[in-house]
Amino acid sequence: MESEIKQISQSSYAVIGPEGATNFGIIKSSDGGAVLIDADIRRIDEVEEALKLTGCAAVKYLIDTHEHFDHTSANFYFRRRGVPIVGSAGCLGAMRDLGGPDFERMMKPVPELYERFPGLCLTLPDVVFADATKLTLPGVTLHLKYCAENGHSHSKGDTTIYFEEEEILIAGDLLYTEVHPVTFFGNIPNWLTALKPLFESHYKQLVPGHGPAVEGEKAGRAYFKKMYDYLEDFYGHAVEVKAGRESSEEAAKHMMSGAYAPLGKNRMVQRNINHFLTGKWF
């Protein structure tokens, strides 16, 4: 399957990853400049093609919604081109403290990228904010908000982006649509708390970190509620597995049945359960 370049509004686009792979955002200013939201070095050709097809003259900023490799590994590529990289202090701290080993681990299957991009390495944000900030380009006002509850929800850097002029909310990996989420990096109780304010957010279009984009507040709120209910249900079953009252196979079967049966990326369910058996977040 291939990525889809979806026009979200007059000036915003999303590269929707195939089979629930990471989404990337492009917001185009009136002078042809662009704000790029997240980029994975393994998919840099997709990103460049999307920038070309959407008529972007130059990338003016790259925003990291959080620290994970699939959202930040192309920082190096754009830094070499003089693009400022924006991220929360939580994102910066997580990358600085833990990003090196994760970068090396994720690069092991694609060593050829080191040859293609000499010097390729973990590259930290250089425009850093604590709680909130605003980026502006001609015709574009972006409000960035740090949303990692108590410093750790899905990740330690979780940031949402609101495009004021066209009323677009980019939720990062706080929201997955139509696919099982990756929970094993997260703190689920904090993640649940971080989701609650998003139930009342205003937007016309909603872009998740993974999965299809959503049109309208009503549908968006339903997806945020689905995400909340999924995480709450998963956490409850994970606690039962941890306590020995349920097997991991029973928990996995539950999370892939009923309302969850249509979700893609089933392989994530057992991985998520196995991680929580290590004792984190209980």
- What domain range includes position 82? 4-276
Whether 90 is in a domain gets the answer yes
Residue 282 lies in a domain: no
Q: Cα separations (Å) of 127 from 10, 89, 134, 149?
A: 27, 9, 12, 21
* 20, 124, 141, 181 from 97: Cα distances, Å: 28, 11, 31, 24
Q: Which amino acid is at 17?
A: G
Q: Which residues have C-beta within 8 Å of that of residue 56, sequence separation ≥ 6?
A: 26, 28, 32, 33, 34
136 lies in a domain? yes
Tens digit of each residue's pLDDT, the chain (282 residues): 688 999 999 999 999 999 999 999 999 999 999 999 999 999 999 999 999 999 999 999 999 999 999 999 999 999 999 999 999 999 999 999 999 999 999 999 999 999 999 999 999 999 999 999 999 999 999 999 999 999 999 999 999 999 999 999 999 999 999 999 999 889 999 999 999 999 999 999 999 999 999 999 999 999 999 999 999 999 999 999 999 999 999 999 999 999 999 999 999 999 999 988 886 554
Residue 249 belongs to a domain: yes
* Residue 163, domain member (yes or no): yes
Q: Is residue 281 part of a domain?
A: no
Total number of domains constituting the chain: 1
Instruction: Look up the pTM and report it.
Output: 0.95
- What's 128's domain CATH number? 3.60.15.10
| 174 domain-assigned | yes
